[in-house]
A and B are shown apart, each in its own frame.
Chain A
Amino acid sequence: MVSLFHLARQNLICRIYRSLIIILGIAGGAGLLLFGALLLKGVENGLQSGLSRLGAELIVVPAGYEHPARTALLVGEPSMFYMHRDVEQQVAKVAGVEKVSSQVFVQSAQASCCSAGNVLLIGFDPASDFTVLPWARQRKSKLPGENELIAGAGLQTLPGQPLKFFNYEFKVAANLEATGFGFFDNAVFMPVETAYRMALLSRTRKNTVPVKLTPGQISALLIRVKPGVTPQAVARSISQAVPGVKVLVSEGIVSTVRQRLAVPVKNLALSGAVMWLVVFLMTAALLTMMAAERKREFGLLRAMGASRRFLIQLIILEAGILTALGGLFGVIGSGILIYAFKNLLIYTLELPFHWPAWSRLTGLVASILLLSVLAGVLSAAYPAYRYSQLDPYDAIRAGE
């Protein structure tokens, strides 16, 4: 006896081109949907995990360097800008400021004196730091000593591994786990005094690119505000009290990223919606056409004893198989694309990215697959009902 599934499979293979068109259409729609959703969730995830680890509501940088500072923070794009350390004391005196910690940024060179070029080297102040050290203490990781550093996940190093920057030999004390936030993933952290010493020695050593950083210079100040005070109000006070600096508000960075993401996500959602509509109509038309061509086959099946219900099941099963396959290829393809081109997205859009949790990802994929199958079943409903109602004799005659 021929099973319903076998019959459906044979029908689909015999009409391979039409089957492929439907599969590709559904795959495109499902892929676009997953791509948009993953992009949105991944960027939100990267922002949340990164900013919560940063633990600072405000970041003070030299005026005119807001963009490089923001890019360094979001994607870890290295840049070097400095201001005098006196700013730290001036900012600490501003009302509403709870904690201040200074950092220096150095860009590693694409030369033999560095193990890796274009890496953001961050010197932090161990006495006031509230970003890296609490993390290391919480994880019971080794705190970086004099010639040691903490490496971001993007560098793919192992604890104890030697690294060389400007011919200064370091050892990796610990590795940060991936956050999707470039400031942590594509950077290495070392005590600020080590950074000053490294810069000083770079200017005296042979075959070494000199680092133009002198003790007393800092790149940025991370600020935590007192409870009950709004970061915006403290930012205004700092701008008024300290000349020559620019204050970045963490919340502002989040909203800037959301704004930047709004247009591509809106376009993706719109294309996805249009594609779904087109695919739905195309699938319905193709299935109706395929069913119309098979009147004789349906008539013969009915004459041999197949019930109306059997015909309905057959048409719906065929549509279900096609759309499920399309949905599956779409989510697999989209997943592969976003995984493979993650770095390209991060550096072109200048956005942080971190994969959503497995539970959320599974839920997302399952709902897209369900939507695909549902679209197939709905588009097959009309031809299934219509051609199951035909009288066997009329159907055989009509198909001749």
Chain B
Amino acid sequence: MPREKISKIIALASALTGILVMLVPRYIFPVCQFYGRFIETKAGKLIPMRCFYTAQAELAVGAVIFFSALALIFARQAETRKTVSMILVLLGLVVIFLPALLIGVCKDPSMPCHAGTLPALTILGGALVILSLLGVYLARERR
């Protein structure tokens, strides 16, 4: 019984992580664009910095995490829980790598996306990886 209880707690925490991944780059630790910072082209046009695209991508990844975690709450079979948890491990890595490598954030450490959004997403992604690995372990077959 405790194993199922812990799995449910992990699934709930993962769903919360998904919501936070969506909210962090826009409301909690907003990226540069939400502070009115843009790149100005020679023609005088304002274009978003790359951290904005990271925020957009994290919105989609966060939604996928949230719905996968919801599926995990209602999943009954251990095999299903194991598979969904493995997917969540990968999604956690995506949350970390999007701002760090794949799309990136602004280079300057004093920029809001570098000082706030990047570490917040790294922590959330790391927490999701740890939680989901624990979920995979708990969903193993009983001997």
Contacts and interface: CB of A to CB of B under 8 A. Distances in A.
Interface of A: 13-14, 16-17, 20, 75, 77, 110, 116-118, 154, 186, 336-337, 340-341, 343-344, 346-347
Contacts of B122: 340
A77 B119 contact: no
Interface string B114-136: 11100110110000000000000
Interface string B38-56: 0000000000000000000
A17 B115 CA distance: 35
B76 interface: no
Contacts of A116: 107-108
Nearest to A116: B107
Contacts of A20: 9
Interface of B: 2, 5-6, 9, 29, 107-110, 114-116, 119-120, 122-123
A156 to B, nearest CB: 10
Contacts of B107: 116-117
Contacts of A341: 115-116, 119-120
A336 B123 contact: yes
Contact of A16 (B2, B108, B116): B2
A186 B107 CA distance: 13
A343 B9 contact: no
A118 B110 contact: yes
A117 B111 CA distance: 11
Given A116-B107, A117-B108, A340 B6 contact: no
A116 B107 CA distance: 8
Contacts of B119: 340-341, 343-344
A116 B109 CA distance: 11
Nearest to B108: A118
A318 to B, nearest CB: 15
A154 B109 contact: yes
25 contacts: A16-B2, A17-B5, A20-B9, A77-B110, A110-B108, A116-B108, A154-B109, A186-B109, A186-B110, A336-B123, A340-B119, A340-B120, A340-B122, A340-B123, A341-B115, A341-B116, A341-B119, A341-B120, A343-B109, A343-B110, A343-B114, A343-B115, A343-B119, A344-B116, A347-B110
A344 B115 contact: yes
Nearest to A115: B107
Given A75-B110, A341-B116, 15 more contacts: A13-B2, A16-B9, A17-B5, A77-B110, A116-B108, A117-B107, A117-B108, A118-B108, A336-B123, A337-B123, A340-B122, A341-B115, A341-B119, A343-B109, A344-B29
B110 A16 contact: no
A336 B115 CA distance: 14
Contacts of B29: 344
Contacts of B2: 13-14, 16
B108 A347 contact: no
Nearest to A17: B5
Nearest to B126: A336
Nearest to B39: A110
